[in-house]
């Protein structure tokens, strides 16, 4: 990325033709560069309709210019926005002039990174901007807004304060061992630890929901040929995505569809039927199917209801996983129940949930959708959910592990030093979420995934 002292420029609107394109500048030279282009001094936070000139005083466009003086701007620096006509050639000309006057092109996410570094927002809020832009449902957008407004951040910061206060108490008890009072035997310490664990569980639940809203789940549809995998994909996606015939081996490649179930994004992957094939093309398709199965969040195993699903599960799915590797979540769809007049229902087995249905007759599909939500713990329309990422969930899990380990050290060994260390690690894990304690490598990775100009 450019040096923090550089003035940066980028287009803040999507590429292509449109009515308006916004060119954004941020940095100490922004106001001076704008003055050269507009040939007029801008007043802060006042829109002006003016011609835009190049370095040779030739007019290249006319539009609206707005100057945001630091620190009252998105980045906390001097920011200028040039609202030009939305043609790619015009935009390129304006950026070329800005670069000539001393600015540098912004890297992806650099405006948001500067806002974070200048304390205009924390890391959660910065990530929420990208999540809001990329949200795929109303529920995801609402959750991203909650994170952007600071709801997630406030909960984390409140929790960090509780951990800090407890650390102070525990470390004071360690530093003054000559006192006759056994501070570590104080029930208030145990109560505070349990309170922190309870709060972590609550945040953990909402973060898991937010992570599902943001990233969705990968559902791999697997099974033997002619079990009805492609028919089920078509029913779930609501369109004829896959070719359906009564010829075995029709599906030979991986086919992906994106659907939304009550706000939960699902990446559906249809695969070739699993069998010993002699055809080379089909063999390649089956090998790809096996790789998708191993990478699935949920395996949707489709079986003909006239066959034994447990035998198929063992022979076609479980054999692809080593004994020491945890299986993905599995839902078995017993398809073609209309052929034997079997009623659609759900039942549980030791390793999977079984849903009886008919893709052809569209029977039991709603029950299957509900089961897919249930198996990943998704609650439709749950209030208070904020947008979260996998790194947030992992950090919360780490924090909870450290607190619970510290409680165990206190109750079983009266080891105040070990409790203090676990509380320190808890605080670090939580601070990584908001960016209070974050490596430069992580920052680079996070902001590089943003749009250029954001």
Chain mean pLDDT for the chain: 87
Determine the distance from the C-alpha atom of residue 131 to the mean position of all C-alpha atoms in its chain, rounded to a whole number.
7
The model's confidence at residue 377, banded by pLDDT at 50, 70 and 90, is confident
- Asked if 210 contacts 147 with a C-beta cutoff of 8 angstroms, the reply is yes
Mean predicted confidence (pLDDT) in 294-307: 91
Cα-Cα-Cα-Cα torsion 380, 384, 390, 391, nearest 10 degrees, comes to: 180
pLDDT at 448 over 70: yes
pLDDT digits (tens, 9 = 90+) for 264-275: 888 999 888 888
CATH, residue 278: 3.40.50.300
Tell whether 78 and 221 lie within a shared domain: no
More reliable by pLDDT, 379 or 65: 65
Is residue 451 a part of any domain in this protein?
A: no
pLDDT at 168 over 90: no
- Locus of tokens 């076609």: 316
CATH, residue 56: 3.30.1360.120
Is residue 318 a part of any domain in this protein?
A: yes
- pLDDT at position 413, please? 82
Counted domains in the chain: 2
Give the angle subtended at the CA of 296 by the CAs of 291 and 297, to the nearest 5°: 165
pLDDT digits (tens, 9 = 90+) for 51-63: 999 999 999 999 9
Tell whether 224 and 350 lie within a shared domain: yes
pLDDT at 248 over 60: yes
Pairing of strands 298-304, 217-223: parallel
Domain final residue pick, 375, 404, 432: 375
- Tokens encoding 71: 């620190």
- pLDDT at position 249, please? 59
By residue range, what is the domain housing residue 95? Answer: 8-121
The model's confidence at residue 421, banded by pLDDT at 50, 70 and 90, is very high
Is residue 400 a part of any domain in this protein?
A: no
- Tokens encoding 346: 């759900």
pLDDT at 437 over 80: no
- pLDDT at position 13, please? 93
- Of 34, 372, 26, nearest to 218 by C-alpha is 372
Q: Tell me how crowded residue 308 is: count the other CB atoms within 10 A of its CB.
A: 10
Tell whether 343 and 231 lie within a shared domain: yes
pLDDT digits (tens, 9 = 90+) for 97-125: 999 999 999 999 899 999 999 999 999 99
Is residue 199 a part of any domain in this protein?
A: no
User: What's the rounded Cα separation, in Å, for the pair 270 and 250?
Assistant: 12
- pLDDT at position 221, please? 93
Domain final residue pick, 121, 150, 173: 121
Domain final residue pick, 326, 343, 375: 375
Mean predicted confidence (pLDDT) in 278-286: 82
pLDDT at 181 over 60: no
User: What's the rounded Cα separation, in Å, for the pair 387 and 250?
Assistant: 40
pLDDT at 2 over 60: no
Tell whether 235 and 98 lie within a shared domain: no
Tell whether 117 and 255 lie within a shared domain: no
Tell whether 13 and 116 lie within a shared domain: yes
Is residue 282 a part of any domain in this protein?
A: yes
The model's confidence at residue 48, banded by pLDDT at 50, 70 and 90, is very high
- pLDDT at position 319, please? 83
- Tokens encoding 353: 């949930």
Is residue 99 a part of any domain in this protein?
A: yes
- pLDDT at position 313, please? 87
- Tokens encoding 72: 């009252």
Is residue 177 a part of any domain in this protein?
A: no
For residue 335, the cross-strand partners are: 304
The model's confidence at residue 76, banded by pLDDT at 50, 70 and 90, is very high
Give the angle subtended at the CA of 325 by the CAs of 324 and 328, to the nearest 5°: 150
The model's confidence at residue 454, banded by pLDDT at 50, 70 and 90, is low
Give the angle subtended at the CA of 265 by the CAs of 264 and 268, to the nearest 5°: 125
User: What's the rounded Cα separation, in Å, for the pair 251 and 241?
Assistant: 11
- pLDDT at position 278, please? 73
Is residue 364 a part of any domain in this protein?
A: yes
Q: Tell me how crowded residue 325 is: count the other CB atoms within 10 A of its CB.
A: 9
Mean predicted confidence (pLDDT) in 308-323: 84
pLDDT at 246 over 70: no
- pLDDT at position 1, please? 46
């Amino acid at each position: 990325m450019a040096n923090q002292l550089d003035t940066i420029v980028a287009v803040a609107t999507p590429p292509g033709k449109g009515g308006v394109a916004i060119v954004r500048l941020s940095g100490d030279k922004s106001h001076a560069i704008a003055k050269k282009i507009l040939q007029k001094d801008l007043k802060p936070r006042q829109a002006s309709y003016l011609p835009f000139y190049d370095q040779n005083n030739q007019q290249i466009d006319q539009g609206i210019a707005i100057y945001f003086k630091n620190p009252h701007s998105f980045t906390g620096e001097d920011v200028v926005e040039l609202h030009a006509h939305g043609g790619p050639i015009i935009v390129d000309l304006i950026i070329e002039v800005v670069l000539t006057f001393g600015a540098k092109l912004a890297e992806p996410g650099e405006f948001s990174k500067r806002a974070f570094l200048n304390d205009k927002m924390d890391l959660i809020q910065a990530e929420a901007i990208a999540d809001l832009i990329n949200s795929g449902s109303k529920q995801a957008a609402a959750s991203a807004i909650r994170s952007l407004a600071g709801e997630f951040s406030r909960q984390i910061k409140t929790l960090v304060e509780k951990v800090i206060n407890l650390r102070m108490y525990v470390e004071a008890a360690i530093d003054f061992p000559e006192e006759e009072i056994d501070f570590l035997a104080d029930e208030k310490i145990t109560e505070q630890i349990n309170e922190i664990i309870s709060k972590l569980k609550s945040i953990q639940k909402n973060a898991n929901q937010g992570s599902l809203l943001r990233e969705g789940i990968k559902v791999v549809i697997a099974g033997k040929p002619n079990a009805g995998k492609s028919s089920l994909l078509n029913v779930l996606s609501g369109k004829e995505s896959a070719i359906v015939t009564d010829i075995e081996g029709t599906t030979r490649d991986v086919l992906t569809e994106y659907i939304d179930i009550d706000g939960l994004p699902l990446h559906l992957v249809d695969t070739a039927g699993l069998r010993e094939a002699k055809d080379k093309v089909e063999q390649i398709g089956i090998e790809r199917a096996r790789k998708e199965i191993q990478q699935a969040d949920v395996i949707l195993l489709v079986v003909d209801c006239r066959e034994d699903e447990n035998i198929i599960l063992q022979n076609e799915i479980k054999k692809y996983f080593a004994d020491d590797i945890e299986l993905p979540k599995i839902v078995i769809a017993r398809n073609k129940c209309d052929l034997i007049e079997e009623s659609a229902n759900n039942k549980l087995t030791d390793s999977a949930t079984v849903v009886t249905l008919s893709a052809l007759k569209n029977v039991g599909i709603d029950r299957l959708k509900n089961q897919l939500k249930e198996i990943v713990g998704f609650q439709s329309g749950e209030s208070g959910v904020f947008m979260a990422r996998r790194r947030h969930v992992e950090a919360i899990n780490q924090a909870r592990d450290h607190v619970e380990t510290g409680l165990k050290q206190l109750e079983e060994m009266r080891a105040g030093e070990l409790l203090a260390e676990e509380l320190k690690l808890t605080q670090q894990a939580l601070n990584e979420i908001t960016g209070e304690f974050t490596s430069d490598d992580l920052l680079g990775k996070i902001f590089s995934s943003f749009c250029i100009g954001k």
